[in-house]
Structures are given as structure tokens and as C-alpha cells.
């Protein structure tokens, strides 16, 4: 850039050259120059939360008389524009920055001040926009607002959609019998509906885990200022700002932290939330793997279900179609599990009165929530809803499995049943024919009783749901 493309801004350390059209000022520019690390800025949801927080703080300061109506209204208007995503490009600071998020807090303050100035109101980034606040309580607060809002308005609804899709298939396919598999080996029969019912319960339990984290995730550090003592702010500031944030977001779980020292020194709420998402990732990985194995083929795999054809699968093999959404889901699971490892490590870095890994933790938590929500939706609508079972194929495999000998244990004994299974495999006969050939009919049971015991659907439909 030429000299004409810069302007000079000042902070307590002196002069700084800032791009002439940028809304940010000196402190943001220093951070941009200090942290050319990853080219990864804050998540958009974090920027939104910062905007909402500044609007809430200005409203409380206006109501208390600490800030003039003119200044407060200018801050609120600018902050809401930021929350709407209008100025995301004005937040250039890398996620790998000062661990308190001070740089991004000042970025927000400076952009708000510049927007207010454009509207004819002189605002100071520290004295006015940051009134009654510290980076040490604002950035954690915005992180928890963003994470709680993501959980309530995006992740839980998306998981509920996936759970409903799986549950609908469970009900639809309750009569379709298939071979069970344990250790990837043939086992006694189940129904396809039972398997999908298990998947639906996994996702339902994941939702319950997310919901269980919300009381802690929704606790906000605002009001603690620098070290949790509330120095330079009013005693009721945190409670009032939290209430204002609840109004702005519609998220009922947002509230002032029970203990401001915990809320700033520790990030246990984020670690807990991430742990719940990690568990969902594990569930999603299991479900995706099962589905792609059941759909493997078309001729040399299990071929029990047909997955929707979504796109050509090979640049060299014509006609090949791959289980792309299962592969997407398992990659997302890996990323979420990796994010959780980083979040867990970051959560352990709460030295004395402040955790200083918050930007990284925030980015990973919000990324995990977004990845899981988007994956759950597309997995439901573009995969699960379009699965077509091959009922005949599944019944054939179930009836040919040596494990269906299991109900004969009580009639002919375990060792004799094992002999039946091994003989049937060796001679390529059905279990039914082998039982007859070995003389167990009519010596041990009648042919009618044999057929009743070898009914594969009856084996699956025991009294257990």
C-alpha cells in the first residue's frame, strides 16, 4: 500500500498506520501485525455475540445514567449492525492472539466508535464502549453467549431433525429382519428397525447431554471486570447485562455467573459442552460407519440397503457411486474429537484469575457446534430419508447365518447346536436341513417346533423393545 492508503491512529503506545478505509483503529492494527498466524479470524457467531454484548452493556449504562442517551444509542445502533454480520470484514485479527481476547474486544470497541463517528457522535472505545467492562469478562461472556445460542438455536434443532429421521425409519422398518452382527461376525437376527431405533436413541441421548450442559454454559462472566472482583463497575451490572442479553437473543439459559472468579479463571463450561459434542461425534461416527457398511456393494459388499446416489464417485471408474455423506460425517467426527482435545488442553490453562486460551477454545467450540449441526441436517435429509432397504437380501442373509441355531440350545443343548452350526457351514446346508440330517428331528423336537424356533423374525421380536 502507498502512504495515501493509510491514515495515522494513536493509542497509548504511540502512532500506528491503519488502512485508510478500515473502521478499526490503532490497537486492532497492532494485533493484525503481531499475529499473522493462521489467517483464521473469529467465528462469525462470536463477532455477533460481541456486538450483542456491547449493545447490552450500553443499554444498562444508559439506564443507570452512566452513559448519555446520545452516546448509548449510537453504541447500540452500531453494535447491532455488527451483530447482524454487516461488518464481519472489519474483524481481521487472527484467532491465535492474546489469550484473553483483549485484541478482539478492542477491535469491537474501535469499530463501534468509528461507526458512531460516521453518524456524528464522538465515542471513545475505552471510556464509552467498554464502560464497566474488561476484556477479561467481555470476551468470555461473548464466547458463552455464542456457544449457548449455537446449542439452543442450531445444534439441538439439527440433532432433533436427525433423531426424528432415524426414529421414522425405525418405525417403518420394524418388520424387516436382518442378520445381527457382533465383532463384525454373524449373530442372531435383529430388525432393521431395531438398529435404526438404536441410532435414534444415540442422537436423543446426545441432545440430552447438550441440554444438561446449558445451565453452566449459560453462565456469563460479565460484571467481574479484570479479576472477578467487579472493580470499576456497579454491583448489579452483570445481572442487568445478562438479562438484556437474554432479551436480545431469546436464549433463556443466559444468566449472571454464580461465581465471577470461577467464570473468569476457568472455562469448565466450555470443556463440558465440548465433551458432550465429542460424544455426539462418536455416535455419529458409529452410525455413519454402520450405514455405509450396510450399503456396501453393489455386488461384493453387504448390499442390505441402497443409499441415495448423490454424485459420481470416481474420476476413472464409470458408474461408481460412493457413500459420500457417511464419509463427510466421519471426517466431521474426527475434527470435533480433535477440537475437543484442544479445548480440553485449553481449559487446563486457567492460571490464577484468568484462563488465557479463550480465543482458541471459542473458535473450536463454535466450529464443532456448526459442523455437527450442518452434518446432522444434511445426513437426515440427503441420506437417511432416502435409504431404501433390500428386504429380500436381508432375510436371505439372516436365514443363512449359522447363529440362528441359538434358539435350539434349550432343545438339543449347546454342544449339539454348535455341531449343527459347524456342519451346516462345512456342507453348505441350511441350519434347518442340518438339524434334520443329524437326527435331532424327531428325537429332540418336532419339525413344527423346529420351524417355530428358526423363525428369524420371531428371534428378533422378543419381549425386549
Q: Is 322 annotated as a binding residue?
A: yes
CB–CB of 130/105 below 8 Å?
yes
With cut-offs at 50, 70 and 90, classify the pLDDT of residue 464.
low
1 pLDDT higher than 60: no
CB–CB of 18/26 below 8 Å?
yes
- Residues with Cβ within 8 Å of residue 297, at least 6 apart in sequence: 303
Q: Are strands 388-389 and 305-306 parallel, antiparallel or unpaired?
A: antiparallel
Residues β-bridged to residue 9: 16
CA distance 356 to 29: 21
Q: What is the pLDDT of residues 73-124, one digit of tens each?
A: 999 999 999 999 999 999 999 999 999 999 999 999 999 999 999 999 999 9
216 pLDDT higher than 60: yes
For residue 282, count other CB atoms closer than 10 A to its CB.
15
316 pLDDT higher than 60: yes
pLDDT given for residue 184 in this prediction: 97
Q: Is 444 annotated as a binding residue?
A: no
CB–CB of 210/277 below 8 Å?
yes
Q: Is 136 annotated as a binding residue?
A: yes
Domains and CATH numbers, the chain: 3-131 (1.10.275.10), 137-391 (1.20.200.10), 401-460 (1.10.40.30)
Q: What is the pLDDT of residues 150-169, one digit of tens each?
A: 999 999 999 999 999 999 99
* DSSP codes, 129-143: ITTT--HHHHHHHHH
Q: For residue 25, give the C-alpha cell.
A: 483503529
Q: Is 251 annotated as a binding residue?
A: no
Q: What angle do CA 238, 83, 134 make, to 5 degrees?
A: 35
* DSSP codes, 356-372: S-HHHHHHHHHHHHHHH
11 pLDDT higher than 60: yes
CA distance 357 to 6: 32
Q: Are strands 6-11 and 14-19 parallel, antiparallel or unpaired?
A: antiparallel
pTM over the 0.85 mark: yes
CA distance 303 to 405: 24
Burial of 120 (0-12, 13-18, 19+ CB in 10 A): exposed
The residues that are catalytic are 183, 314
Q: Is 315 annotated as a binding residue?
A: yes
Q: Is 268 annotated as a binding residue?
A: no
Q: Is 296 annotated as a binding residue?
A: no
CA distance 94 to 101: 10
Amino acid at each position: 500500500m502507498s502512504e495515501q492508503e493509510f491514515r495515522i491512529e494513536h493509542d497509548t503506545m504511540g502512532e500506528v498506520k491503519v488502512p485508510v478505509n478500515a473502521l478499526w483503529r490503532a490497537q486492532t492494527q497492532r494485533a493484525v501485525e503481531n499475529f499473522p498466524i493462521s489467517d483464521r479470524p473469529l467465528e462469525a457467531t462470536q463477532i455477533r455475540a460481541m456486538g450483542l454484548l456491547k449493545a447490552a452493556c450500553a443499554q444498562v449504562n444508559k439506564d443507570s445514567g452512566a452513559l448519555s442517551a446520545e452516546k448509548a444509542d449510537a453504541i447500540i445502533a452500531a453494535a447491532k449492525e455488527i451483530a447482524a454480520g454487516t461488518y464481519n470484514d472489519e474483524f481481521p485479527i487472527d484467532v491465535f492472539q492474546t489469550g484473553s481476547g483483549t485484541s478482539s474486544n478492542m477491535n469491537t470497541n474501535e469499530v463501534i466508535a468509528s461507526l458512531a463517528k460516521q453518524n456524528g457522535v464522538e465515542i471513545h472505545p475505552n471510556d464509552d464502549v467498554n464502560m464497566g467492562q474488561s476484556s477479561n469478562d467481555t470476551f468470555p461472556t461473548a464466547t458463552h453467549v455464542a456457544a449457548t445460542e449455537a446449542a439452543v438455536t442450531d445444534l439441538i434443532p439439527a440433532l432433533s431433525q436427525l433423531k426424528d429421521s432415524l426414529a421414522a425409519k425405525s418405525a417403518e422398518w420394524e418388520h424387516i429382519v436382518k442378520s445381527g452382527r457382533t465383532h463384525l461376525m454373524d449373530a442372531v437376527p435383529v430388525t432393521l428397525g431395531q438398529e435404526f431405533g438404536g441410532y435414534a436413541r444415540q442422537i436423543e441421548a446426545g441432545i440430552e447431554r447438550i441440554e444438561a450442559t446449558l445451565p453452566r454454559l449459560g453462565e456469563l462472566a460479565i460484571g467481574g471486570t479484570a479479576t472477578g472482583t467487579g472493580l470499576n463497575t456497579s454491583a448489579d451490572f452483570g445481572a442487568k447485562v445478562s438479562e438484556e442479553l437474554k432479551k436480545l437473543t431469546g436464549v433463556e439459559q443466559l444468566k449472571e455467573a454464580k461465581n465471577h472468579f470461577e467464570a473468569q479463571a476457568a472455562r469448565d463450561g466450555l470443556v463440558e459442552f465440548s465433551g458432550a459434542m465429542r460424544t455426539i461425534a462418536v455416535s455419529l461416527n458409529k452410525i455413519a460407519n454402520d450405514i455405509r457398511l450396510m450399503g456396501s456393494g453393489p455386488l461384493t459388499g453387504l448390499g442390505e440397503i441402497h443409499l441415495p446416489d448423490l454424485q459420481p464417485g470416481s474420476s476413472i471408474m464409470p458408474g461408481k457411486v460412493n457413500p459420500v455423506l457417511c464419509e463427510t460425517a466421519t471426517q466431521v467426527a474426527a475434527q470435533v474429537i480433535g477440537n475437543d482435545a484442544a479445548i480440553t488442553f485449553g481449559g487446563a490453562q486457567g492460571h490464577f484469575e484468568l484462563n488465557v486460551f479463550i480465543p482458541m477454545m471459542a473458535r473450536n467450540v463454535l466450529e464443532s457446534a456448526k459442523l455437527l449441526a450442518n452434518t446432522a441436517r444434511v445426513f437426515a435429509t440427503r441420506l437417511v430419508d432416502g435409504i431404501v432397504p433390500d428386504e429380500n437380501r436381508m432375510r436371505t442373509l439372516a436365514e443363512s447365518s449359522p447363529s440362528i441355531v441359538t434358539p435350539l440350545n434349550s432343545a438339543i443343548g449347546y454342544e449339539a447346536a454348535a455341531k449343527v452350526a459347524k456342519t451346516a457351514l462345512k456342507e453348505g446346508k441350511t441350519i434347518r436341513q442340518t438339524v434334520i440330517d443329524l437326527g435331532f428331528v424327531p428325537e429332540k423336537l418336532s419339525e413344527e417346533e423346529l420351524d417355530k424356533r428358526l423363525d428369524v423374525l420371531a428371534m428378533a421380536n422378543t419381549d425386549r423393545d
